[in-house]
Every structure is written in C-alpha cells, then in structure tokens.
C-alpha cells in the first residue's frame, strides 16, 4: 500500500478506511496543528469526510489506532488538530489500542515523543501476541481480528500461519503553520509509507529489529579473480555424453506430481551397470538465471572472458586454496553454468560477507540480522527453509553488489544428481532407464515459482520428444524413434544429450543366490531400482527354467490408482508371469471402494503390517533380504518403525531387542536402503 505523494496520503487512507468493515485496521496517526487550532492542510479532506453526519455511529468499529498529536502551548488550542481527529474517530466507534500522546514543541517534542514511541512498540507487541496466542479473545479484540483467525474442527480458534497485520504509520503533516516552521525533530522517525508488521526476508520486527546483534566475524577473503579476453574451453571430466532415445510421461496430467521416464543410449560408451546402480546426471544452472546474475553483477559484457583465479597474497584465511571445481581459463558463463551451485541457500558466512557489499543501511542491517546468532530463527524461516538462493537475496537487497571473487569463495560446487537405474542390461542391452518426479517449488514471498534444478531442466530438455502416458505401446517400448535435431551447449547439431557417469552401488543388488527371497518397498519413484531387479530376474528365469528362485514381494504405493501408478502394466505383467510373487499396492488419496473398506491401507508401512507374518518369515526364517527405496525423512523412517514392530511381535521381544535384531540384518547386508532426503 505504497503512497507516492504525501499530499495524497489522507485521500488514500480514507479510501482504505472505508473498507474497515471487511479488513481490520491498525493505524498510527501523527498529526500537527495549524492556523487557529486547525488540522494541517493535508488532513483537511480527511477531516471533512469523517465529520460527515451521515456516517453511522459504528462506521469505524473495526479500527484500532494510536494517535500522537503535535502542538505548541505558546499558541491557542494546543494540539487541536490531533484532538479533533481523535474525538471524531471515537464517536464513529474506533478504539484506542494505545493512549494518545500530546507533544509540546514549546518545552521540547522529545519529552513526550521518545517515551510515546517506545511504549508504542510494547503496546503493539502485547496486542499482537495476545491475538496470536489466546483461544478466547475479549470482545474488542475479537471484533478487530475476525479476519486473522480461523476455527478448526473442534471450534477452537487458531492463528493463520501467515498472520500479518498492517501497521499504517501516517504522518499527516510536517509543518506547524502557527509558528511557520517545520516540525522535523530527529526523534520522530515515522515512515509515510505503510509498513507490514510481520517479519519477512527483507524486514524484521522487534525485538530483533531493535536489539544489538551478535554478528559472526567477517570471513576472510582469499581469492583474486581476473577476466581475460580469450577463453579456453573446459572439459567435463569423467562424464559421458549420451543420447536420450526416449522420454515418456508416466503420470496423468492432473496427477499431483509429474513423473517422467528417460531411456539413454549408452551403447557407444560401453557403460556397464547392474540393477541397483545409479547414474550421476550433470545438469546446468538455468540459462535465464545465469543471465540475470551476470546482468545484476554488471558482467554481461565479460561473460565470454577467460577466468583466472589466484590466491590473495595477504589473505588471513588459513590453508587457503583455489577451489578445484573452478577451472582455470574457463569462461565466466561456463563457470556460472556448470561449476557453481547458484541455487544453493547461502550459508550465514556468505550472508555476512554480502552485508559488507551492501550500500543501503537498512538492507545491510537486515542481512546482518539474518547471519547473526540473534536472527537464527529468521534465517531458518526466510533463507534455509524457504530455499532462497543468491539471486533471491540480490533481488531483495538491490544495493548489494558483491564482487565475483566473493561468489567463487562461497558458492559450492554444482553437484550432479544421482538417479537409480530403472532397467536391466540383460533385458535392455545398450540402454539404461531412469525415472524422476519434476520437483516444484511454489511461489513464495521470498522467490518466484520454479522447478527443481535438475528435474526441471530435464523436463524442459526432453519436452520436444516427451510422449504422454498411454501413447507408447508395450511392443514399441524398447525401440528408438527418430529424434529431432537440437542445438547443444557447444553449438553443434546433434540428438538430445546429457552428461552421465556410472555410480556403482557396493551393496544394493539382488542376492548372489537367486533362491533367496526378497521383499522390496518402493513407493512412487522409489520403485525404480526394483523395476531393474524384476527385469533381471525375469531374464534369469527365462535362461534357467530349472533353477530355484526365491519369492519376490513388492510393496508399492502411490496417490491415485488412475493417475500415478508408475509402471503399472509392467508390474502387472511381472505378477502375471510369476516373476513377482506378490504385488501389494496401496493408494493414499483414492476414495474408499463401494464396499466402504474400513482401515484400508494408506501407505506402504500399513501393508507391511497387514503382511507381518510373511515379512517376518522371509527375514527371520528364510534369511531373505529387505530393500527400501525412496524418501528418507518420512517413508523410510515409518517403514523402519513398522519393521521393529513386526519383529518385536513375531519374536515376542521388547523394542530394544528388536532394534538389535534389525541392526543385525543391516550388518548382514539383508536390510538395505537407497534413500534420499
């Protein structure tokens, strides 16, 4: 609610206040007196409006306010401008949340103004704290906060997580025309623009905004960066450039998440892998974000210059060394695209260093707050948990202009993303498949909406060849199709390609003895390595029909049967031909069936509990193996807790002994996890 011209403040306020019946208002008025006890010129229109006799007596009953009147006892009608507004607001139902102050310029405005302002913040903190914590508000407060609360199912009032109350600081006049001089005491530090009384990335609130800060020491600089005129291309060591031969969407368009399966042609590179292995995918930073960063640092014209990085001779940093991930003589654009993780959340040391290159004092103060010990909660809320990156900070703090050397010192290496192979080379020679969900970060006050760095890039990279769910017949699933020609990063024309590197697993493989039974738990894209397991076992069964093969159980889960049941046809085929002994599936967000099944399983751990006897027998009696793949934070923990229950109940032992038994399974490499956070 910015106000561009002071002369328009009151008209703007009036327009806003007419909506008070809908939006609760908290206002602070600072009003001087002119003429013969009149409100100042800029307040005249406002006063005429509120004096309108047609206004109902409760017109401003939602308005809570504080008022500071400025005047001079050497003149008649002391503080009458403020008193006029104060009296009329009361007549129209407005309520004080803090006592009115009357400052006398004859004895010194600061005598009243300083303690009034100090008490104002305490009153605001007390008021909003009461609003945020009380289940039962008093009548006045509940009147003014009805739009800031909601009720839960039990009827109790709870705060909205994003409770924000506007504090409108209004300076209605800066002049006292009775004396013909400006009232500009340094003690009156009131913004003419509205301010939101809620912490954000760019703004803090008391007590943090008023406290002395425990700021960490400034990190020592240790790099010197020079930009040369010529560029020597850098190689992506240890990676193989391979073609994408197929891209298929595995979910319906209205699924909560979009899952995509990619098939890579690795035949020319002769890359060997086993089911359970993974591949590192090297992805670049977004071209648009690199461009914006170059423009923001005023380096756009030097993007193709070769970068030379040297150690500062007089650096106080101990054991300083040039980061190995920054190549010498690589172009600036190459380094920002392929070498530095510009999407990473800046650590506190980086924020501290950025503050020293910020010109605006309020912006610098906020950055110091975010990196301070006192501001840890704000740092966690508005930087780390909000997935804020360097660009987000530079947008939020426009006067911050860090040197290139600072980025090279603090931005981490752009790490590859690992994806489990969702195929077997026995069934797909010269090919490897993997599957991923396109990660989405919704828009927040701290940053715009965006997709995950690698998953979003891959989705965009294959958009021209992506085939929707159901358009790839099973008979064609292994064939390659003609691919469009596209420009790669070095400007040459070729098929769609990615840079990959095998990442062999030391343990996450099928048992060497095929007769050992296997339990697999993989909801969502966690099913990927188990597709490879099953393809491998299917080919082994075909090649040796006389051999004994152990049971294979798969516990799979997704949200909706008809929207995101990944690899459904293939899994049902495995179950039909006996490769998969038991396919146990649950759907967490589907409605109960017509029979109204009670306590139907929602997640994979619930199905594990329903089949506890079989799981316990496989692990404890038949010496089988348990594999878990997927989310570490929730699913893997829940599965582990369920396993402890199953073993405790089966062996009739307490939780501590159950934990020892599970630890034994881990040591024997019979309880294996491929999980991620």
Question: Taking the mean position of all CA atoms in its chain, how far away is CA 136?
Answer: 34
- Strands 671-676 and 625-631, by their bridges, are parallel
**Of the candidate ranges 161-165, 371-375, 422-426, the one whose mean pLDDT is the lowest:** 161-165
Q: What's this model's pTM, rounded to 2 decimal places?
A: 0.68
Query: What's the pLDDT tens digit per position in 494-539?
Result: 468 999 999 988 899 999 999 999 999 999 999 999 999 999 999 9
Q: Which DSSP string do the residues of 30-64 spell out, in sequence order?
A: EE--BTTTBPPGGGHHHHHHHT-TTS-TTTTTTEE
Strands 486-487 and 493-494: antiparallel
Tell me, what's the pLDDT at 12? 47
Q: Is the confidence at residue 124, as pLDDT, over 80?
A: yes
Distances (CA, A) of 584 to 461, 554, 589, 623: 35, 6, 16, 21
Kindly state whether residue 465 falls inside one of the protein's structural domains.
no
The CA–CA distances, whole Å, from 196 to 193, 204, 445 equal 10, 10, 13
CATH number where 518 lies:
3.40.50.80
CATH number at residue 402: 1.20.990.10
Residues 27, 67 contacting (CB under 8 angstroms): no
Cα dihedral 591, 594, 598, 604 in deg (nearest 10): -50
How far is it, in rounded angstroms, from Cα 8 to Cα 670?
74
Answer yes or no: do 661 and 514 share one domain. yes
Give a yes or no: residue 617 inside a domain: yes
Based on C-alpha coordinates, what's the Rg of the chain? Answer: 33
What local confidence, expressed as pLDDT, does residue 593 receive?
64
Pick the residue with more confidence: 240 or 11? 240
Question: What is the per-residue pLDDT for 180?
Answer: 39
* 538 and 669, same domain (yes or no): yes
Q: Looking at residue 128, what is its pLDDT?
A: 76
Q: Give the CATH number for residue 102.
A: 3.40.50.360
Instruction: Give residues with Cβ within 8 angstroms of 60, minimum separation 6.
Output: 17, 20, 89, 92, 93, 94
Q: Which residues of 304-319 are buried (b: 16+ CB within 10 A; e: fewer)?
A: ebbbebeeeeeeeeee
pLDDT digits (tens, 9 = 90+) for 11-45: 444 444 444 343 457 888 999 888 778 888 778 88
In this structure, are 383 and 514 located in the same domain? Answer: no
- Token pair listed for 327: 């190549």
CA dihedral 272, 274, 275, 276 (to 10 degrees): -110
Confidence check: pLDDT of 164 > 60:
no
Q: Is 270 left (phi over 0), alpha (psi -120 to 50) or beta?
A: left
Distance CA 270, CA 502 (A): 11
pLDDT digits (tens, 9 = 90+) for 141-158: 333 333 333 333 333 433
In a domain, 214, yes or no: no
Structurally, the chain folds into a number of domains equal to 3
Residues 332-373: tens digit of each pLDDT:
999 999 999 999 999 999 999 999 999 999 999 999 999 999
Residue 473 has what pLDDT? Answer: 59
Domain that holds residue 364: 223-227+286-410
The model's pLDDT over 618-667, given as tens digits with 9 standing for 90+, comes to: 999 999 999 999 998 899 999 999 999 999 999 999 999 999 999 999 99
Does 663 share its domain with 527? yes
DSSP state of 323: -
User: Is residue 125 very low, low, confident or very high in pLDDT (cuts 50, 70, 90)?
Assistant: confident
Asked if the structure places residue 314 within a domain, the reply is yes
| Same-domain pairing of 667 and 553 | yes
Q: Average of pLDDT values for 567-594?
A: 91
Task: Output the furthest CA–CA distance in the chain (Å, rounded).
Answer: 112
Residue with tokens 């003609």: 482
592 backbone φψ class: left, alpha, beta (φ>0; ψ -120 to 50): beta
Residue 580 lies in a domain: yes
Tell whether 172 is covered by a domain: no
Of 380, 410, 440, which residue constitutes the final position of a domain?
Answer: 410
Three-state DSSP state, 444: strand
400 shares its domain with 519: no
Residue after which a domain boundary falls, among 128, 148, 169:
128
Domain boundary (81, 102, 128) is at: 128
For residue 477, give the nearest of 564, 561, 569 by alpha carbon. Answer: 569
Half-sphere exposure of 227 (CA within 13 A, CB side): 15
User: Residue 248: in which H helix or E strand, if any?
Assistant: strand 240-249
Q: Please check whether residue 185 lies inside any domain of the structure.
A: no
Does 521 lie in the same domain as 655?
yes
In a domain, 207, yes or no: no
Burial category of 190 from C-beta neighbours within 10 Å (exposed 0-12, middle 13-18, buried 19 and up): middle
């Amino acid at each position: 609610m910015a106000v561009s011209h002071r002369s328009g403040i009151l008209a703007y306020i009036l327009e806003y206040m007419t909506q008070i019946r809908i939006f609760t208002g908290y206002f602070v008025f600072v009003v001087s007196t002119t003429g013969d006890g009149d409100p100042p010129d800029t307040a005249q229109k406002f006063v005429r409006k509120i004096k309108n006799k047609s206004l109902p007596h409760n017109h401003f009953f939602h308005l809570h306010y504080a008022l500071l009147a400025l005047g001079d006892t050497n003149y008649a009608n002391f503080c009458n401008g403020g008193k006029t507004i104060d009296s009329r607001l009361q007549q129209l139902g407005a309520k004080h949340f803090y006592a009115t102050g009357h400052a006398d310029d004859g004895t010194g405005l600061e005598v009243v103004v300083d303690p009034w302002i100090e008490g104002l913040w305490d009153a605001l903190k007390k008021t909003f704290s009461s609003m945020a914590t009380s289940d039962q508000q008093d009548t006045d407060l509940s009147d003014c906060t009805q739009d800031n609360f909601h009720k839960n199912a039990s009827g109790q009032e709870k705060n909205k997580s994003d409770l924000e109350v506007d504090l409108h600081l209004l300076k209605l006049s800066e002049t006292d025309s009775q004396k013909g001089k400006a009232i500009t005491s340094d003690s009156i530090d009131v913004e003419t623009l509205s301010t939101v009384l809620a912490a954000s990335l760019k703004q803090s609130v008391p007590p943090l905004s008023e406290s002395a800060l425990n700021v960490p020491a400034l990190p020592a600089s240790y790099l010197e960066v020079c930009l040369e005129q010529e560029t020597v291309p850098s190689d992506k060591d240890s990676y193989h450039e391979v073609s994408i031969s197929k891209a298929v969407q595995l979910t319906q368009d209205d699924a909560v998440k979009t899952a995509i399966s990619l098939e890579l042609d690795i035949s020319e590179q002769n890359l060997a892998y086993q089911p359970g292995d993974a591949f590192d995918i090297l992805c670049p930073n977004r071209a648009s974000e690199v461009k914006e960063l170059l423009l923001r640092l005023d380096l756009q014209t030097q993007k193709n210059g070769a970068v030379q990085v040297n150690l500062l001779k007089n650096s106080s940093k101990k054991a300083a060394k040039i980061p190995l991930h920054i190549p010498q003589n690589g172009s600036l654009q190459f380094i920002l695209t392929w070498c530095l993780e510009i999407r990473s959340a800046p650590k506190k040391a980086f924020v501290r260093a950025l503050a020293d290159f910020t010109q605006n004092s309020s912006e610098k103060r906020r950055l110091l707050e975010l990196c301070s010990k006192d501001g840890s909660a704000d740092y966690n809320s508005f930087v780390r948990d909000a997935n804020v990156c360097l660009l987000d900070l530079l947008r939020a703090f426009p006067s911050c202009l860090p040197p290139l050397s600072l980025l090279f010192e603090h931005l981490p290496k752009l790490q590859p993303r690992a994806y489990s192979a969702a195929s077997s080379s026995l069934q797909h020679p010269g090919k490897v498949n993997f599957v991923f969900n396109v990660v989405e970060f919704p828009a927040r006050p701290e940053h715009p909406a965006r997709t995950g760095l690698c998953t979003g890039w891959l989705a965009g990279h294959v958009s021209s060849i992506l085939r929707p769910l159901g358009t790839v017949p099973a008979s064609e699933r292994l064939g390659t199709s003609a691919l469009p020609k596209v420009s790669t990063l070095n400007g040459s024309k070729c098929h769609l390609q990615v840079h990959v590197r095998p990442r062999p697993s030391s343990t996450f493989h099928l048992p060497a003895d095929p007769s050992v039974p296997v339990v697999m738990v993989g909801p969502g894209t966690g099913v990927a390595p188990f597709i490879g397991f099953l393809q491998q076992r299917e080919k082994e069964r075909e090649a040796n029909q006389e051999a004994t093969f152990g049971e294979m159980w798969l516990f799979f889960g997704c949200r909706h049967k008809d929207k995101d049941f990944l690899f459904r046809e293939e899994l049902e085929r495995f179950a039909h031909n006996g490769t998969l002994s038991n396919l146990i599936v649950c759907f967490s967000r589907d409605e109960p069936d017509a029979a109204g099944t009670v306590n139907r399983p929602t997640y994979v751990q619930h199905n594990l509990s329903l089949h506890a006897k079989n799981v316990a027998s496989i692990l404890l009696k038949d010496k089988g193996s348990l594999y878990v793949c997927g989310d570490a934070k929730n699913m893997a923990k829940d599965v582990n807790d369920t396993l402890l229950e199953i073993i405790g109940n089966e062996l009739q032992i307490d939780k501590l002994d159950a934990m020892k038994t599970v630890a034994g399974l881990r040591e024997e490499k019979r309880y294996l996890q491929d999980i991620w956070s």
